[in-house]
Structure 1
Amino acid sequence: MTIPLLSPFPGKPSVAFDAVDTWVFDLDNTLYPAHHDLWFQIDARMKGYISELLGIPPDDAFRIQKEYYRRYGTSLRGLMIEHGVEPDAFLAHVHDVDLSGLDASPRLAAAIEALPGAKIVYTNGSERHARNVLEKLGIDAHFAAVHDIVAAEFHPKPTEEAYLRFLRAHGVDPTHSAMFEDLARNLEVPHRLGMVTVLVVPPDETIAARESWEFEGREDAYVDHITEDLAGFLETVARQAPPPVSEPG
Structure 2
Amino acid sequence: MTLPALEMSRIEGRDTWVFDLDNTLYPAECDLFAQIDQRMTDFVARFLGMDRAEARALQKQYYAEHGTTLKGLMTMHGMDPAEFLAHVHEIDLSPIPPLPSLCDAIAALPGRKIVYTNGSRGHAERVTKHMELHHHFHGMFGIEDAGFHPKPSQAAYDAFCDAHEIDPGRAVFFEDLERNLKPAHEMGFATVLVRSGKDWSHEPVEARPAGLNDAAHPHVDYLTDDLTGFIRQVLAFLSPLPAEE
Map 1:220-231; keep pairs closer than 5 Å. Answer: 220-231=217-228
- Offset from partner CA, 1:4-51 (integer Å, 9 cap, x none): 35x9xxxx9554311111000000000000011210000000001000
Q: When the two structures are superposed, what TM-score results if normalisation uses the length of structure 2?
A: 0.90
RMSD over aligned CA atoms reads 1.9
Match of 1:30 in 2: 24
Q: Which runs of 4+ in 1 moved over 2 A?
A: 12-16, 204-213, 215-219
SS at match of 1:138: coil
Tell whether the 8 Å contact from 1:103 to 1:136 is kept in structure 2 after alignment: no
Relative distance call for 1:209 and 1:241 in structure 2 (3 A) is farther
- Cα offset for 1:242? 4.7
Q: State the distance in 1 between where 2:37 and 2:9 align.
A: 34
Deviation per CA, 1:41-86, whole angstroms, max 9, x where unpaired? Answer: 0000000100011111111111111111111111101101111111
Which residue pairs with 2:64 in the alignment?
70
Structure 2, gaps ≥5 residues long: 241-245
Count of residue pairs the alignment pairs up: 235
Equivalent AA in structure 1 for residue 204 of structure 2 = E
Deviations, residues 215-248 of structure 1 (Å, cap 9, x unaligned): 68853200000100000100110121158xxxxx
Q: CA deviation at 1:128?
A: 1.1
What is the aligned partner in structure 1 of residue 130 from structure 2? 136
1:236 equivalent to 2:229? Answer: no
Aligned equivalent of 2:144: 150
Provide the rounded CA distance (Å) in 1 between the counterparts of 2:126 and 2:169. Answer: 30
Equivalent residue, structure 2, for 1:90: 84
| Distance of aligned partners of 1:209 and 1:56 in 2 relative to their CA distance in 1, 3 Å threshold | closer
Contact 2:195 2:209 in 1 (8 A): no
Q: Distance in 2 between matches of 1:218 and 1:172?
A: 28
Which SS does the other structure have where 1:68 is aligned? helix
- What SS does the aligned partner of 1:208 have? coil
**Which of 40, 48, 55 is the matching residue for 2:42?**
48
Contact 1:4 1:229 in 2 (8 A): no
Amino acid at match of 1:208: S
1:166 aligns to what SS in structure 2?
helix
Q: Does 1:206 align with 2:199?
A: yes
Deviation at 1:127, TM superposition (A): 1.1
Instruction: Provide the TM-score with structure 1 as the length reference.
Output: 0.89
TM superposition shift of 1:209? 5.5
What is the rounded CA distance, in whole Å, between the counterparts of 1:211 and 1:72 in structure 2?
12
Gaps of 5+ in 1: 244-249
Q: Which residue matches 1:247? A: none
Aligned residues with identical type, % of pairs: 44
Q: Work out whether 1:4 is the aligned partner of 2:2.
A: yes
Q: Which structure ranks higher in relative contact order (CA pairs < 8 Å, sequence separation ≥ 6)? A: 1
